Structure 1
Amino acid sequence: MSFVGEFCDDVARSIGFLSRIPMPDRHFVGYDGRLSRTVRAFPLAGLLIALPSAAIAAALMALQASSLFSAFVVVTIQALVTGALHEDGLGDTADGFGGGRDREAALTIMKDSRIGTYGAVALILSFGLRVSALASILPLFTPLGAGMVILGAAALSRAAMVWHWAHLPPARSGGVAAAAGEPQPGATRLALAFGLLAAMLLFYFAKVPPLGLVATLFAWFVVIKGFDRLAARKIGGHTGDTIGATQQLTEIVVLGALALAV
């Protein structure tokens, strides 16, 4: 199969893994479920997954709808399209990191599907911070620019997932992330390069000022490095939950950086 054909398969598999969007069966023929190469398409898949919310944001801004209402609609659509997959990871991670006295206790808590106090607070803060940041920045751009900002944040946050996955070992041998395999070095580099380039181009064409671009990149790098260290200290590596939490944390800080710098 050609590179283009393989990459199209990886995009479809990434969308199927990261969202509730159904993909054609032909992309999964003979597929063993491993994501070692597939992760290279995560940032592009993130763009495609975010297209509905970006389009709705652009339409609402063109109609001069309330920015707060528009921000809530955007975040709601994102959660519906992804099936709240990343929010689930954030909630479980917060419960484990906050309530676990040691590594084993934290991993046990994270495996429990029930939500605790730390998880509930983390989810409230995640939705609140993203909505408030979006509400402050959406009116500052043209309708098309508002959509581009949402797409740029989506690309960066999916690239961050690959970074976290590739830079830490699996925290448990039988987890979802471990079963999916370790990201290939080449796939990781492609994901990071595409995610960063796509986001910067989208922000540039949205007319984000230079300070905003610098602040966004700085915030993105600080949060992924900081969260990597926290995960390494708390559980000794990554899990599917921490990978999802990385997406949420990155999106929060990227939108927050734009809100402060634009």
Structure 2
Amino acid sequence: MKGLLLALQFFTIVPVHKNLPMEKQQISGMYSLFPWIGAGIGAIACLGLYFEWSTLMTGFSIVFLGIFLSGGLHMDGFIDTSDAFFSYKDRLKRFEILDDPRVGAFGVMAVVLLVIGKVIIVSEVLAAESFHWIFILLIPFFSRATLTMLFVLTRSAKESGLAHFFKQKMNASRLILATSFNFFVGLFIIGWFTDWMIAITFGVVLFIFICLFRNWAWKNFGGITGDLLGASVEVSEVVLWLTLLLLLS
């Protein structure tokens, strides 16, 4: 329960006004349950399906609610990561840009393209005849499970910050087991409700994404940071929505 409250406190706009312990058990529990926070956000985003809107407006509502309910946390990480990566500076300068609260031109351009692209892709998926509402619920679930797996498998790029603190506290073996179970449950649900080929494809795409993103983080930043993890959530969601669009077309 304390892990769940921590997940709500750190990763959503839910007001949890309580001082909670942040030891190994609670931090590990927080990340084990993190994908289910994503599923909860997706469940609320499903409410957009009940309004007689165009697919474009429904797609916008789904994207908007995902950003709003998470407090824009992952989007902020994506913006900072874009500013740092596209600066083409050395690694030390990139870390300075990550820590800079100001938003640069590259961050603005990247987030505009991300949001517009995501709204269009989601809208196109909604228009497909074989679309199922379960995807709205499970794509945020998978993106957060991906974050957790990346966090566990990749060393910290910095020896400071909240992400580094959490990494020192987590139980890696427990989280790998819990996250693998979460992936299995999510893929099973997709196969059961929709098509097993979609579930298998999602599994392959997620595996490839984790490997590529981890290697990219190693090469360009020497490890993972909180901003990079936030970016992984946004990018993995776009990748999954795009994969779904290709499968349903």
Q: TM-score, normalised by structure 1?
A: 0.85
Runs of 4+ in 1 over 6 A off after TM superposition: none
- Partners of 2:198 and 2:116 lie apart in 1 by 21
- How far is 1:142 from its partner? 7.7
Which residue of structure 1 aligns with residue 246 of structure 2? 260
Tell me which of 53, 57, 60 is aligned to 2:48: 57
For these two proteins, the number of residue pairs brought into alignment is 246
Which residue of structure 2 aligns with residue 168 of structure 1? 154
- Partners of 2:205 and 2:158 lie apart in 1 by 29
- How far is 1:201 from its partner? 3.4
- Partners of 2:127 and 2:11 lie apart in 1 by 29
Q: TM-score, normalised by structure 2?
A: 0.89
1:36–1:181 CA contact under 8 A, matched in 2: no
Tell me which of 4, 7, 10 is aligned to 2:3: 10
- C-alpha offsets along residues 110-158 of structure 1, whole Å, 9 cap, x if unaligned? 1111112221222122212321221112233688x32x11111011101
The alpha-carbon distance between structure 1 residues 17 and 194, as it changes in their structure 2 partners (threshold 3 A), is farther
- Partners of 1:210 and 1:127 lie apart in 2 by 29
Which residue of structure 2 aligns with residue 203 of structure 1? 190
Which residue of structure 1 aligns with residue 175 of structure 2? 188
- The percent of aligned pairs where both chains have the same amino acid is 23
- Partners of 1:77 and 1:19 lie apart in 2 by 11
Gaps in structure 1 of 5+ consecutive residues: 1-7
Which residue of structure 2 aligns with residue 108 of structure 1? 96
- Asked if 1:74 corresponds to 2:65, the answer is no
Q: Alignment RMSD, CA only?
A: 2.2
- Partners of 1:220 and 1:108 lie apart in 2 by 30
Paired AA for residue 106 in structure 1: R
2:12–2:70 CA contact under 8 A, matched in 1: yes
1:72–1:131 CA contact under 8 A, matched in 2: yes
Gaps in structure 2 of 5+ consecutive residues: none
Which residue of structure 2 aligns with residue 239 of structure 1? 225
- Partners of 2:230 and 2:140 lie apart in 1 by 13
Paired AA for residue 180 in structure 1: F
Paired AA for residue 210 in structure 1: W
